[in-house]
A and B are shown apart, each in its own frame.
Chain A
Amino acid sequence: MADVTLTNVRKQFGTFVALENLDIEIKSGEFVALLGPSGCGKSTTLRMLAGLEFPTSGDISIDGRVVNDVAPGKRDIAMVFQSYALYPHMSVAENIAYPLKKRGVSAADRKVAVQKAAELLQLEPLLDRKPKQLSGGQQQRVALGRALVREPKVFLLDEPLSNLDAKLRSYMRAELIELHRRLGKTMIYVTHDQLEAMTMANRIAVMHGGKLQQFDTPDAVYNRPANRFVASFIGTPSMNQLEGQLDGALFHVAGHSIPLDRTRFADDLGTGDYALGVRPEFVAIGDGELPAKIRLVENTGHEQIVTLELTDGTRLLARTDAARRLDVGQNVQIGFHPDAIHLFAPGEEGPRLNKNDAASVIPMRSR
């Protein structure tokens, strides 16, 4: 078990800046997800932790030791690759035993360790097979076995589930959570899938454009997103963000005014352009003053995602019960749950301007 710290880490490939001033402190035993769209720098971060890339500047430390110049094999980390990267000519048992072999562990001890890993991951019947003869899920488990066999301080996982089909993915997700609980090791998990990050991680580092946007619990990144990027990236469908003008306690959008509870927002907000954010589940159809037209109704079985259009053409989404009868083309009045409104500064990464104590955690049913 070990703390992992990145201090002011910067990574440049030629003139391209992949990561800027990254500061992350991961506590021992934590399950942390690095989440973001492709090209956000999350994989580069993981590869630097593994020692496969080196920071242009800044320090990486594992368990209090700066490892900038330490070779991957000497960092006491293990990594699971998206492609699994199993050695194709070796059997499952040989694959799992390989890191021990390279560290001079005796054949007898290797056998015991492989047996233990195989039991944990239910790989016993497969030990003599070659990777080619295994399904994706089985290969994934072998890769995990190879990672955990030598009991490293830190596990690094690079989109390990993205090559699996949806059903297997949700099964392996549960397996990984269970594995983390049993081993209690520090795990750092790269993914672009917010569902994986939200369900598995203790804390999520949301990244975008080489910068850390927010590093907090799943609950916090969902309910108290640090900025507009996090607000739009986390949640499916994502948060509605309406651009408008703030004037005192009124937010003007599409020719109408939405009254705001100013005590929930920073006190020094002046008049001007802002973005109002509200999650689809807090948009009430038929309860409010904002006129809108229903453009699309998507019924997923247990709920409906309704696309609404305001009078100026701005579109937003609402989430309602599947039982509710809504027709495309219907004119409705909509409103927002007052405690669920976020206010953001303009710009793609405009920061959230709610007061921190104003936690917008509202039970779904109260909308």
Chain B
Amino acid sequence: MIATQTITPRLERSYARLGVLLIAPTILVFSLVIVYPLLAAIYLSVFSIYTPTLEGNFVGAANYVKLLTGKAFWNSLGVTLIWTVGTLTLQIVFGVGMALLLHQNIWFRSLARSLVLFPYFLSTVVAVLVWRWLFNDLYGAMNHGLMQLGILDLPLDWLGSMPNAMIGVILVGAWKYFPFVVIAVLARLQTIPEHLYEAAKIDGAGPIARFWDVTLPQLRNVLVVIVLLRAIWDFKEFDLIYLLTGGGPVTSTQTLSLLVYQEAFGLNQMGQAAAYSVGMMLVMLVFMVVYIRKTGKEG
């Protein structure tokens, strides 16, 4: 007994050393690419800096005062929330619907399952260029088609006017990212025991009752994770919106990411941009905390 008591801690110490050694590279990379930029952003945010020269002077909380009192941040936060809620809702509705469809024994199911992933795998730049062509008010296929069908009398300015621009961005976002929802929901659907449906049938539940009482409760956990993850990703979406509308018309589709970019590289105000990004990070922290608490409970 005595021998094992002295040996075990030594063994444990060596295991602990090995553990530290194995985790070290991760911590190092994490520090370099996450912690350092984060701290640098906070540091920059208390300066007024001219981007091309990266020179400037300490201004204290002035950038944050402007953030709180000015319109830009709040306007963009509103735009970001509309975009996030709008595109996420469509992603969930289309994603769950498509997953339910692909879960049925339909013809060409495996082909359809691969095809549905197409928008997700397509490069954003390519996808957005195609969409811009479709949306074009002069020669776009969208206007052409809608006019042929008699739904529109005159060509519509899809991306240059509101609320069309926001609707366009939300639709393209939903199209691009709903396959993620399909994959996650479909994977979960396949694990729902068939017996639950059979029991519900015998208990007298029709197809709609079976969806509400069996399918949806089983999807609940995966939907919580999907909603949180997609909310975080959509909240900080940049390339899709930037390429599609550039934040316009004026600032009506300028989300927080675009605001930060505009401030840093359009207006050359690196310090102010850093302050906006810190503000954005604080908002995202709320999502993060919810996500960590939700997923932590599962584990």
Contacts and interface: CB of A to CB of B under 8 A. Distances in A.
B198 A52 contact: yes
Interface string A99-110: 100110000000
Nearest to B209: A102
A137 interface: no
B220 A102 contact: no
Contacts, number: 59
A83 B197 CA distance: 13
Contact of A83 (B193, B202, B218): B193
Contacts of B199: 79, 81, 85-87, 146
Contacts of B205: 73, 98, 102
Interface in B144-176: none
A350 interface: no
Nearest to B205: A102
Interface string A212-232: 000000000000000000000
A87 B202 contact: no
Nearest to A156: B202
Interface of B: 193, 195-196, 198-206, 209, 213-214, 217-218, 220
Contact count band on A: 20 to 34
A78 B209 contact: no
Contacts of B196: 85, 87
B180 to A, nearest CB: 25
A224 B138 CA distance: 90
Interface of A: 50-52, 71-74, 77-79, 81, 83, 85-89, 98-99, 102-103, 146
A146 B203 contact: yes
A87 B201 contact: no
B203 A99 contact: yes
A71 B217 contact: no
Contacts of A85: 193, 195-196, 198-199
Q: Which of B193, B204, B209, B213 has the most chain A CB within a 10 Å cutoff?
A: B204
Q: Which of B199, B200, B206 has the most chain A CB within a 10 Å cutoff?
A: B199
Contacts of B218: 88-89
Given A85-B195, A102-B209, A79 B202 contact: yes
A159 to B, nearest CB: 12
A74 B202 CA distance: 8
Nearest to B201: A72
A71 B213 contact: no
B214 A87 contact: yes
A98 B217 contact: no
B201 A73 contact: yes
Given A79-B199, A81-B198, A83-B193, A99 B204 contact: yes
